[in-house]
Structure 1
Amino acid sequence: MSPLKVLVPDAHLRDLDVERSVTGALIDYQVYDETNPASIPDDAWASCDAILVWHRMKITRELVGRLARCRMIVRVGVGFDNVDVEACRERGIPVSNVPNYGTTEVADHAIAMMLFLARGLGTYEARLKADPERGFVAENVPVVRRLRGSTFGAIGMGRIGTAIARRVASHDMHVVYFDPHVPEGHELGLGYERVKSLDTLLARADVLSLHVPLSDETRNMIGDAQLQAMKPGGILINIARGKLVDVDAVYRALRAGHLAAAGLDVLPQEPPVPAPPLLDAWRANEPWLAGRLVITPHAAFYSEAGYLDMRTFSAEMLVDYLVHGRLRNNVNPGWQDAASSTPR
């Protein structure tokens, strides 16, 4: 059996040692580190048996139309908004993601952001660095408050939402969530309070955290109106997708003082160039924002162990389907209907 050709258009690491240790001689990887499809030869797209895509390459409808032999696309990660799954469905190409890595890392990251803000760690560190004597005081710190008894509002209660809620509950916070996509009775198994509308959640949350994928339904779901609907002094955490939140609205809500603080691991444009006003103010250490904002570079998922899982599971899914016919973690059901009639 000749090796299967798997195209990796936007590899972070060119060696693919982890992936090759899983697939052995079964797969011949064609590895590129590109973000523009035109930078990869047309024949590479047309002749590949599968695609292993990270997050920097967009698999558009036009590109899907050029995939003459492709039998599968695996997204190396959880989010798949960079793949036109509907175009793949129409073409009869199954798309799978890797939902079973990094969940605990992302949950820990969200909690770390909340605690960093609510316990004033950034302000205390900055004060002591600036002046170990006069900075050795606990009072007059932005945001710092007691978390016990406050309400944690979760938008989305899937794997990551549940993992975060479990950690939040250990801080004696009351967990309330909104998720129209889980069945009735879901809340009974979890033991957390469920509300029927986003507006209800916003009005009750002291800390608001997002755990949903990016879609037409969720894009910019948090903007000026939603932030104003929150109680004054709230904290916003986003470790999901940058385009869920209007960062200019966050800037306005922080500047006005209605929003106490925000923790953002994801941004609408990554890297954030050109920088939005919020990042400009943060980088300039503007006094009004000090201690009220923490930003990390889409790193919530990362640990060495999580990274190894992500790459290993991706390679395993290629073998499971391409060699053994077992499809896992499919995110575009219905592809089978087109597969039988699509010429190859």
Structure 2
Amino acid sequence: MYKVHLVDGLPNINLQDISLEKKLLADIAEVTSENVKDESELSDTFYEADVIIPWHLLTLSAATIKKLKQCKGIIRTGVGYDSVDVKTAGEQDIPVFNIPDYGTQEVADHALALILNLSRRVNIYLDSVKGGVWDWQAAKPVTRLSNMTLGIIGYGRIGQEVAKRAKAFGFNIIFYDPYLSDDFKSKSGSTRVKTLSELLSMSDIVSLHVPLTDETKYLISEKELNLMKPDSILVNTSRGPVVESKALVKALKQDKLAGVGLDVIENEPQVPDELKNDERVLITPHAAFYSEQSMHDLRRKSAEITRAILLGEDLPEPVNAEFLK
């Protein structure tokens, strides 16, 4: 029997029940799991696994990957794979896979929920009513949605789904994505802009949908925030370090932003007090991906890729294909 090992940096959340993985792999593999705070705590079972399935808040560094004894594949349960040293894995002839299409609808829905809450200033009204004030003027000014421009940074699966949803509310939609071909045409009728600075200066709301890479770390920092319109809104449902928290706090202190929606934060789960205590900031705990259906899809697809690895069947392209021997 092969050995499949699931590992998570969050205690007693994602791996409380691994019955689905066990069921789908019962005929070919023994499935085990563990929760650790740091990779230094990983057990011998981890290093002896044929397939490793890491979840959240756990870095698999080059040193850890080099100690793997017989690993045939690593499957990162999620879209982002910045927590795995994919180059070293490739050099060790270990393909790394992600699950890019399991929660597209959920993340797009969540992003739009933050956009609508902040643009209609529901958060301000809520705090006002809880404080005993019943006044429609408490959140002034509120702008009609069809008078607002939504700028989407990163126009892949999720970015396009956000655009499709936002169009129904009447937003004027623009997008920036330097990786799309020159002849790309948006199905939702969104307008492409050529530079990031152009998008930031034109948008009333900016929504981020990019992976975390060396290029996108601190994509939004003090310089970029200063390019945004006064009283604009920033929403991040991509990866925490895409936005520099220190610069974001500074922009809020200087009243340069009307609202901020964050599902991900640099150094999460630690959240700066300045963000937690600001009524203009809506924060959710990296939950945009979640629905009962998306969680089932995520686990099922991870198990299906595991089967394909172990049985030598057709596989999707690894995210580290360029580094494989």
TM-score (norm 1): 0.89
Contact 1:53 1:74 in 2 (8 A): yes
Contact 1:207 1:236 in 2 (8 A): yes
Instruction: Identify the residue that residue 213 of structure 1 maps to in structure 2.
Output: 211
CA distance in structure 1 between the aligned counterparts of 2:28 and 2:166, rounded to whole angstroms: 44
CA distance in structure 2 between the aligned counterparts of 1:80 and 1:245, rounded to whole angstroms: 18
1:181 to 179, 182, 187: 179
Deviation at 1:143, TM superposition (A): 5.6
Instruction: Identify the residue that residue 147 of structure 1 maps to in structure 2.
Output: 145
One-letter amino acid of the structure 2 residue matched with residue 278 of structure 1: E
Q: How is 1:218-229 mapped onto 2 (pairs within 5 angstroms)?
A: 218-229=216-227
Instruction: Identify the residue that residue 242 of structure 1 maps to in structure 2.
Output: 240
Bigger Cα displacement from structure 2, 29-38 vs 93-102: 29-38
Deviations 1:214-272 (A, max 9, x none): 01000011011101101111100000000000112111112211211110110111211
Deviations 1:93-133 (A, max 9, x none): 110011121111111111111111111212222332332xx
Contact 1:118 1:143 in 2 (8 A): no
One-letter amino acid of the structure 1 residue matched with residue 290 of structure 2: Y
1:35 to 11, 34, 37: 37
Instruction: Identify the residue that residue 128 of structure 2 maps to in structure 1.
Output: 127
Q: Residues 128 and 45 of structure 1: is their aligned pair in 2 closer, same or farther, counting only changes over 3 Å?
A: closer
Paired residue secondary structure (2:321): coil
Deviations 1:15-66 (A, max 9, x none): 311111222221112311113223223x424421110110222111111111
Paired residue secondary structure (1:110): helix
Q: How is 1:100-111 mapped onto 2 (pairs within 5 angstroms)?
A: 100-111=101-112
Q: Residues 142 and 67 of structure 1: is their aligned pair in 2 closer, same or farther, counting only changes over 3 Å?
A: farther
CA distance in structure 2 between the aligned counterparts of 1:312 and 1:158, rounded to whole angstroms: 23
Deviation at 1:321, TM superposition (A): 2.1
Identity of aligned residues (%): 37
Q: Residues 259 and 50 of structure 1: is their aligned pair in 2 closer, same or farther, counting only changes over 3 Å?
A: same
Q: For structure 2, which runs of at least 5 residues remain unmatched after alignment?
A: none
Paired residue secondary structure (2:64): helix
CA distance in structure 1 between the aligned counterparts of 2:205 and 2:17, rounded to whole angstroms: 42
Which entry has the higher C-alpha Rg, 1 or 2? 1
Q: Residues 142 and 310 of structure 1: is their aligned pair in 2 closer, same or farther, counting only changes over 3 Å?
A: farther
Deviations 1:302-340 (A, max 9, x none): 11111111111111110022214321252111344x1xx
1:328 to 293, 316, 325: 316
Q: For structure 1, which runs of at least 5 residues remain unmatched after alignment?
A: 284-288, 339-344
Instruction: Identify the residue that residue 77 of structure 1 maps to in structure 2.
Output: 78
Paired residue secondary structure (1:9): strand
TM-score (norm 2): 0.94
Q: Residues 231 and 316 of structure 1: is their aligned pair in 2 closer, same or farther, counting only changes over 3 Å?
A: same
Q: Residues 87 and 142 of structure 1: is their aligned pair in 2 closer, same or farther, counting only changes over 3 Å?
A: farther
Paired residue secondary structure (2:213): coil
Instruction: Identify the residue that residue 96 of structure 1 maps to in structure 2.
Output: 97
Instruction: Identify the residue that residue 67 of structure 2 maps to in structure 1.
Output: 66
Paired residue secondary structure (2:27): helix
Q: Residues 144 and 218 of structure 1: is their aligned pair in 2 closer, same or farther, counting only changes over 3 Å?
A: same
Contact 2:263 2:287 in 1 (8 A): yes
Instruction: Identify the residue that residue 45 of structure 2 maps to in structure 1.
Output: 44
Matched, 1:166 2:190: no
Deviations 1:147-191 (A, max 9, x none): 113211111000100110111111111111111111111135553
Instruction: Identify the residue that residue 301 of structure 2 maps to in structure 1.
Output: 313
CA distance in structure 2 between the aligned counterparts of 1:129 and 1:276, rounded to whole angstroms: 23
Contact 2:21 2:31 in 1 (8 A): no
CA distance in structure 2 between the aligned counterparts of 1:48 and 1:143, rounded to whole angstroms: 57
Q: Residues 17 and 118 of structure 1: is their aligned pair in 2 closer, same or farther, counting only changes over 3 Å?
A: same
Deviation at 1:277, TM superposition (A): 4.3
CA distance in structure 2 between the aligned counterparts of 1:130 and 1:46, rounded to whole angstroms: 54
Moved >6 Å (runs of 4+)? none
Bigger Cα displacement from structure 2, 136-145 vs 73-82: 136-145
Instruction: Identify the residue that residue 200 of structure 1 maps to in structure 2.
Output: 198
Bigger Cα displacement from structure 2, 19-28 vs 260-269: 19-28
Deviation at 1:9, TM superposition (A): 2.3
Deviation at 1:137, TM superposition (A): 2.0
Matched, 1:296 2:284: yes
Deviation at 1:136, TM superposition (A): 2.5
Paired residue secondary structure (1:63): helix
